[in-house]
Amino acid sequence: MKNKLFKTSLISSLAMVASALSVSSAFAEDVHWDDVVKKAEGQSVYFHAWGGSQEINRYLQWAGKELKAQYGVNFNHVKVTDIAETGSRLLAEKAAGKNSGGSVDMVWINGENFKSMKDNALLYGPFVSDLPNWQYVDKSLPVDSDFSEPTEGLEAPWGVGQLVFIHDTQSLNNPPVSYMEMLNYAKAYPNKLSYPKPPEFHGTSFLKSLLIELTDNDPSLAKPVDQADFAGVTQPLWNYLDEFHKVAWRGGKQFPAGTAETIQLLDDGQIDLAITFNPNAVYSAQASGNLSDTTTAYAMESGALSNIHFLAVPWNANAKEGALVAINFLLSPEAQSRKGDINVWGDPSVLNKQYLKGSAAKTQQFKSVAEPHPSWQSALEQEWLKRYGS
């Protein structure tokens, strides 16, 4: 899923507008779920979500057919490369006073995008605990916090993400299990390792994971960025990358566009490690013929950067009821079992395993490493682009 802080100037210009508006309650006391379902029938839901994965796109096509058949809801996947684009659109609609009939009904978000939308009062709710399928969610997962930001019922958990690496056991049976080992491997085998170019989500996640290990998870990473300390805290990261880029794929002058390209480069034998935020992505890629059966996923010894990704409804959605029905369906055991099927998408489920069927109930999860405070996302991206973006 994509994460990028909206333009600071745009947020600042709308801060007074946002602060003057409060988040409304999703359900009045006399409104029942049956009423929501009735109103949803015939509505068209425009769901803004990353469109960079064939497996995810096919899954959402299936979900759309089910929503149409079961509830009469027209479900439209609006494919975006970065959900920050949607955030900018919502901010513009708020600035224009468009408080109903909005162009976006539902969004796939987490991390910095959620905090930005929440801070600018762009989200409808709270609604999550009113969803009938909320009862199936595994409450032992951090479903009420998003990159340390309380969700307050404004977004529903949809899946679990973990930053892991994929390698081919035939060509590399002993992959690096720490970032220092990765640097040593890159020096020993030049032109065989890389990572997606920030601010692409997986590229920025790589930077955060690397920074956590290099600083032994400095306590400041759990707090808002302090510009006075930023240079000192991050210096080990830039020192590492200066060395890594010299021996990286294409000399660190070019970077893959995203996880899909790293998987393709791995399959072509150009690089030795692909990167993904889904431990089961390797199985989905194998099933679709994009990776050999000898590939497998693993996490660093210190653990895998982990988070929950969520679904939310904008405050001015034109099809609020349709969006709520869609989110509730996507939280159903039926939809979560299919999403977790390694032959479909393989996204780890947020439901208690007793409600899941097939391979979704057997998903492996690695030791978790918590995400830094959301403010580190943009700070790292901006500094990376300043140093290496040209």
How do the domains of the chain map onto residue ranges?
A: 8-159+308-363, 162-305+374-388
Category of 8 on φ-ψ map: left (φ > 0), alpha (ψ -120 to 50) or beta: alpha
| pLDDT reported for residue 5 | 36
Per residue in 128-175, pLDDT (tens digit) is 999 999 999 999 888 998 988 899 999 999 999 999 999 999 999 999
Question: Does the N-terminal peptide bond of residue 190 adopt cis geometry, omega within 30 degrees of 0?
Answer: no
**Which backbone phi and psi does 153 adopt, to 5 degrees?**
75, 15
Does the pLDDT at position 240 exceed 80?
yes
Per residue in 296-312, pLDDT (tens digit) is 999 999 999 988 999 99
CATH topology identical between 8-159+308-363 and 162-305+374-388: yes
Q: Which of 20-34, 252-266, 318-332 shows the lowest per-residue confidence on average (mean pLDDT)?
A: 20-34
Mean of pLDDT values over 252-258: 96
Q: Count other C-beta atoms under 10 Å from residue 375's C-beta.
A: 17
Percentage of the chain modeled with pLDDT above 70: 92
What is the C-alpha to C-alpha distance for residues 113 and 4, in angstroms, rounded to an integer?
6
What is the C-alpha to C-alpha distance for residues 299 and 283, in angstroms, rounded to an integer?
16
Mean of pLDDT values over 47-67: 94
Q: Sign of dihedral through CA atoms 45, 48, 49, 55?
A: positive
Does the pLDDT at position 13 exceed 50?
no
Residue 8's closest CA among 386, 384, 382? 382
Q: In angstroms, what CA-CA distances link 53 with 35, 50, 296, 344? A: 35, 8, 19, 11
CATH topology of domain 8-159+308-363: D-Maltodextrin-Binding Protein; domain 2 (3.40.190)
Which CATH number does the domain 162-305+374-388 belong to among 2.40.50.140, 3.40.250.10, 3.30.70.3420, 3.40.190.10? 3.40.190.10
Q: Count other C-beta atoms under 10 Å from residue 302's C-beta.
A: 16
Mean of pLDDT values over 44-54: 93
The answer to whether residues 259 and 204 touch, using CB atoms and an 8 Å cutoff, is no
Per residue in 360-382, pLDDT (tens digit) is 988 777 888 989 998 999 999 99
